[in-house]
């Protein structure tokens, strides 16, 4: 099946971007619960999704999601304790999950108390429990992604091997990234999603957004170019500053 082309949406400012992202989240949740009885959401870390998480925890959004049917996963995690300021789990927990009626057992965090390799294996087993055979992982309903200034997404950094057959990897992130070891979902898992959404804002991302979306295809150097769901939608949500180079 041919991979989808990105649906690029540009918003005037950050507030409009986050409201639109919240609408996409609510709609994906509603469709998933109606069609399959559960909502498999996969979150990211970094600074971009924080305001969205806060917004989703507020009315009216919090009341528009059937949180009791949600299962929460992470696209990647920094190998730091769960209560560390750099933990992606902690960020989502603090801003969103502790403020909505999600079932605690349905929050599937990466167990960073294990060694990174073991944490990656353990997370692969978690994904397997939700697998959509013949895949060894689920078709996630919504994957929320960010874009790093070097073109990385999740913790798939430039130079990551192109072929992955496993669902999760332990990776060494570049030293300037908090938590230099990480666990990440791999490209095949992200590309099996029913919907993948990039949320990017700020002038500092303008040039990398333009390269990833409209520049030469260099998937090894620009890992975000590798995210093309096989049978799903791909939405790039940008504020005007991040879209300035396109």
> Which residue ranges make up the site for ligand 6PG (CB under 6 A)?
44-48, 75-76, 78, 88, 146-148, 152-154
Q: Which residues pair with 239 in a beta bridge?
A: 11
Q: Which of 108, 91, 109 is nearest to 52 (CA)?
A: 91
Give 108 or 152: the residue with its C-beta nearer to ligand 6PG.
Answer: 152
Instruction: Give the nearer residue to ligand 6PG in terms of CB position, either 45 or 138.
Output: 45
**Residue least distant from ligand 6PG (Cβ):** 146
Nearer to ligand 6PG, 50 or 215 (CB): 50
**Which residues, listed in sequence order, are joined to residue 182 by a DSSP beta bridge?**
78, 171
Smallest distance, ligand 6PG to C-beta of residue 1, A: 26
Nearer CB in complex with ligand 6PG: 16/64 = 16
Contacts 24+ apart (CB under 8 A), 177-182: 177/78, 178/78, 178/80, 178/86, 179/78, 179/79, 179/80, 179/84, 179/86, 179/87, 181/78, 181/79, 181/116, 182/76, 182/77, 182/78, 182/79, 182/116, 182/155
Closest CA to 154 of 183, 113, 126: 183
- Nearer to ligand 6PG by Cβ, of 148 and 229: the residue is 148
What are the two backbone dihedrals, phi and then psi, of residue 162, each rounded to the nearest 5 degrees? -75, -35
Shortest Å distance, C-beta 199 to ligand 6PG: 8
* Shortest separation between residue 88's beta carbon and ligand 6PG, angstroms: 5
Whole-number minimum distance, CB 118 to ligand 6PG, in Å?
20
Closer to ligand 6PG at the Cβ: 65 or 144?
A: 144
- The least CB distance from residue 52 to ligand 6PG, in Å, is 10
- d(CA 113, CA 244) in angstroms, rounded, equals 41
Q: How far is the CB of 78 from ligand 6PG (least distance, A)?
A: 6
């Amino acid at each position: 099946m041919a991979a989808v082309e990105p649906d690029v949406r540009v918003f005037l400012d950050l507030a409009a971007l986050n409201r639109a992202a919240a609408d996409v989240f609510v709609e994906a949740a509603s469709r998933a619960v109606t069609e399959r009885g559960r909502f498999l959401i996969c979150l990211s870390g970094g600074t971009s999704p924080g305001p969205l998480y806060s917004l989703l925890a507020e009315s009216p959004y919090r009341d528009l999601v059937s949180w009791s049917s949600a299962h929460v996963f992470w696209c990647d995690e920094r190998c730091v304790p769960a209560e560390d300021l750099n933990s992606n789990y902690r960020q989502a927990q603090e801003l969103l999950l502790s403020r909505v009626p999600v079932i605690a057992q349905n929050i599937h965090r990466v167990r960073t108390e294990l060694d990174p390799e073991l944490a990656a294996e353990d997370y692969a087993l978690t994904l397997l429990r939700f697998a959509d055979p013949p895949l060894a992982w689920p078709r996630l309903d919504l994957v929320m992604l960010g874009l790093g200034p070097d073109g990385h997404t999740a913790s798939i950094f430039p130079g990551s091997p192109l072929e992955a057959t496993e669902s999760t990897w332990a990776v060494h992130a570049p030293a300037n990234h908090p938590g230099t070891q990480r666990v990440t979902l791999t490209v095949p898992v992200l590309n099996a999603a029913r919907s993948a959404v990039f949320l990017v804002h700020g002038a500092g991302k303008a040039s990398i957004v333009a390269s990833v979306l409209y520049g030469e295809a260099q998937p090894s150097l620009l890992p975000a170019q590798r995210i093309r769901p096989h049978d799903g939608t791909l939405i790039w949500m940008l504020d005007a500053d991040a879209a300035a180079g396109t």
